[in-house]
Amino acid sequence: MEIQEFKDRVFAAGQAAGLEDMEIYVSKSKTFSTCVFHKEVDDYTVSVEQGVGFRARFSGKVGYAYVEILDQDSVDLLISGAKANAQIIESDDEIEFFEGSPRYPEVIAYNRSLEAISAEEKIEFAKALESEAFATDERVSMVNYAVTGYSETEVYMANTKGLEQSFERNGAVSFVSAVVREGEQIKTGMRMMFGNNWGEFDAERLAQDAVREATSLLGAKSVPSGNYPVLLRHDVARDLLSTFASVFSAEAVQKGLSLLEGRLGQQIASPRLTLVDDPLLKNGGASASFDGEGVATRTKKVIEAGQLTTFLHNLKTAKKDGMESTGNASRPSFKSPVGISPTNFFIEPGTLTYDELVTKMGDGIIIIDVQGLHSGANPVSGDFSLGAYGYLVENGQIVGPVEQITVAGNFFEVLETVEEIGSDLEFGSPGSRGHVGSPTLLIRHLSIAGM
């Protein structure tokens, strides 16, 4: 069954079943991914998929259901499922079905020339990642991942209030992970790139950077425990920001799950720090003209020169706070209920290069990777304690690699103690928590546990 026919059947069946407002959120995607190992295609995956998320109001409450196949059984399941789920809701939250914004922004997030890149070209790129990695250093014992992927997604929303909107987005991702061996020592280095301009993908650079990072870690030692000035490299700073992004969600604030409650307008971060949510970013991995409720998106500063200027809202939280939605309603997938998420979310870059930051720090530790973010970080308290590695810096020079340490601190304290911000803003790969980016940050000090 085609989606328009399916929608008509669902809305008609819903009306007959006494459902009040109804909305469908359809996502259609096409993906490709390949992994090369020992010059052969080791993994090759293609998909074409679609899913329909449905929500409906019954007796004033809203229930959800989703399906992945468009047949009559699915029509029945959407109606009966959403109705049953509406009937158990006890929360008094008022949920609005949106009739549409007067205007929607122009957003460019789909690049047709990227779609035209053939499977062979992508395979060749993955092969080049592997061969370049081996060519970079003879200590490379294995390239455990040399991957190229592509995905495109089309989102279509329609409801019984008259909303009907769609957008499309595409992007390619590539990553390479190299293993180097010297004697008994084994180290890994990884590089990843996301974007939708194929011309910017440089296999040689990605592979060389991954290998150089791995070899740079050979001979790593622990350091004595203590408080050290720390450089959080852009990718580590970004992962930390992504992990704690929920503290800026109005939903978390209203539920008492964010320590930023009551701090709007206050100085919560170093005056150097500005945090932006920009859904209109050209070719951003989370760029979109409307959010998960159909509200037109817009760019805003969440922290401006250290001052907390807004939380991220959807219609429900905005209504509670007596304000307009910030266009941050999220549907991480068609299966998920409406939540809140940042879009393209990043710390504005400063002026110092990475090398200048190292000099400026003088003595301290550069953290280039952390492990355990999903378990060792508590978004409610802001506390984190993570396995880490990187380099020891003395007198403004990197003197050697560091491993077997943990870095511990508190996200809110990190925001306050940012001393310098690098010019090297980089984004990660987009996910359900938005597309997050950061430059390298110099932090006054963090607790390092080592020897």
Partner 1 sequence: MLAESLVTDVILAALSTGGDFAEIFMEDTRRTNIRMLNGSVEEGVSGRDYGVGIRIFQGFRSVYAYTNDTNRENLLKVALEAAAALSGGPQLTNIVLQRLVVDRFNPVRLEPQDVPHSDKVGIMKRANLAAAGYDKQITQVAITYLDTDQHVLIANSEGLLVQDRRIRTRLGINAVASKGNEKQSAFRGPGRHMGFELFEHIDVEEIAKDAARSAVTMVNADYAPSGKYPVIIDNEFGGVIFHEACGHGLEATSVAKGASVFSGKLGQQVANSLVTAVDDGTIPNAWGSQNIDDEGTKTRRNVLIENGILKGYMIDKLNGRRMEMEPTGSSRRQSYKFAPTSRMTNTFICAGQSTKEEIISNTEYALFAKHMGGGSVNPATGEFNFAVAEGYIVRNGKIEKPVRGGTLIGQGSQILQKIDMVASNLASGQGMCGSRSGSIPTDVGQPTIRVSEITVGGRKGAN
Please report whether residue 72 would count as binding partner 1 according to CB under 8 A: no
Please report whether residue 40 would count as binding partner 1 according to CB under 8 A: yes
Which of residues 3, 21, 51, 429 is near partner 1 by CB under 8 A? 51
What separation in angstroms does the CA of 73 have from each of 62, 70, 76, 399? Answer: 21, 8, 5, 65
Contact region for partner 1 (CB under 8 A) — 164-172, 193-201, 302-310, 330-338? Answer: 330-338
DSSP string, 212-280: HHHHHTTT-B---SEEEEEEE-HHHHHHHHHHTGGGGBHHHHHTT--TTTT-TTSB-S-TT--EEE-TT
3-state SS class at 299: coil
CB of 408 to partner 1, least distance (A): 4
CB of 388 to partner 1, least distance (A): 9
299/336 with CB nearer partner 1: 336
Which of residues 17, 20, 21, 42 is near partner 1 by CB under 8 A? 42
319/335 with CB nearer partner 1: 335
| Window 231 to 290, contacts with partner 1 (CB under 8 A) | 255-257, 259
Which of residues 12, 18, 39, 41 is near partner 1 by CB under 8 A? 41
Which of residues 6, 11, 58, 64 is near partner 1 by CB under 8 A? 64
| Window 346 to 375, contacts with partner 1 (CB under 8 A) | 371-372, 374-375
Which of residues 9, 17, 408, 416 is near partner 1 by CB under 8 A? 408
The count of residues interacting with partner 1 (CB under 8 A) is 75
Please report whether residue 179 would count as binding partner 1 according to CB under 8 A: yes
Task: Name residue 366's beta-bridge partners.
Answer: 231, 391
Which of residues 60, 162, 226, 431 is near partner 1 by CB under 8 A? 226
Q: Are 237 and 275 in contact (CB under 8 A)?
A: no
What letter would DSSP give residue 116?
A: T
Residue 351, phi then psi, degrees to nearest 5: -110, -20
Q: Smallest Cα–Cα separation from 422: which of 437, 406, 405, 403?
A: 437
Q: What is the 3-state secondary structure (H, E, C) of 152-219?
A: EEEEEEEECCCCEEEEEEEEEEEEEEEEEEECCEEEEEEEEEEECCHHHCCHHHHHHHHHHHHHHCCC
Q: Are 279 and 414 in contact (CB under 8 A)?
A: no
Contacts of 73 (CB under 8 A, 6+ apart): none
C-alpha–C-alpha distance, residues 233 and 11, integer Å: 50
CB of 235 to partner 1, least distance (A): 16
Please report whether residue 4 would count as binding partner 1 according to CB under 8 A: no
| Window 99 to 128, contacts with partner 1 (CB under 8 A) | 119
| Window 370 to 399, contacts with partner 1 (CB under 8 A) | 371-372, 374-376, 378, 380-381, 383, 385-387
Which of residues 13, 17, 89, 117 is near partner 1 by CB under 8 A? 89
CB of 360 to partner 1, least distance (A): 26
Which of residues 12, 39, 46, 271 is near partner 1 by CB under 8 A? 46
C-alpha–C-alpha distance, residues 157 and 164, integer Å: 6
Q: Are 252 and 239 in contact (CB under 8 A)?
A: no
Q: Smallest Cα–Cα separation from 429: which of 113, 53, 154, 33?
A: 33
Cα angle at 129 between 127 and 130, to 5 degrees?
65
Contact letters for partner 1, residues 153-172 (x by CB under 8 A): --------------------
Please report whether residue 3 would count as binding partner 1 according to CB under 8 A: no
Which of residues 100, 115, 137, 144 is near partner 1 by CB under 8 A? 144
C-alpha–C-alpha distance, residues 368 and 388, integer Å: 8
CB of 233 to partner 1, least distance (A): 17
31/309 with CB nearer partner 1: 31
Q: Are 23 and 54 in contact (CB under 8 A)?
A: yes
CB of 2 to partner 1, least distance (A): 11
CB of 105 to partner 1, least distance (A): 30
